[in-house]
Amino acid sequence: MVEETLSGKAVRLGFQQVKGLSRESAKRLVQARLEQPFISLSNVASRAYLSEAELRLLGLAGAFESLGVSRREAAWQARF
């Protein structure tokens, strides 16, 4: 799905496209996001209770680019 954003167009892929991310983790991530927007990678990790491996998978998929964190940077930051 292509969606308009403030900075232009963005492609949104479902969590099922992130191999290795469990359905339970995806549900926690969505629920935490519904409660309040995320402000950082560490905020995502703590509020959605994601493991280092799950954060790395999401980072490599580009899930944190809206937070200003590149794919490579997310992979490094996931190593808390």
58 occurs within a structural domain = yes
Residue 59 near residue 74 (C-beta atoms within 8 A): yes
Domain count, the chain: 1
The pLDDT of residue 80 is 60
Residue 7 clears pLDDT 60, i.e. is over it:
no
Q: Mean pLDDT over all residues of the chain?
A: 81
pLDDT per position as a tens digit, 15-45? 777 888 888 998 898 899 889 999 999 999 9
The pLDDT of residue 13 is 58
Q: pTM for the full model?
A: 0.75
Q: Which residue has the higher pLDDT, 34 or 7?
A: 34
73 occurs within a structural domain = yes
Q: Taking each helix axis from N to C terminus, what angle separates 52-60 and 41-48, rounded to the nearest 10 degrees? A: 130
Residue 45 near residue 80 (C-beta atoms within 8 A): yes
53 occurs within a structural domain = yes
1 occurs within a structural domain = no
Domain span including residue 35: 20-77
Q: Which residue has the higher pLDDT, 3 or 17?
A: 17
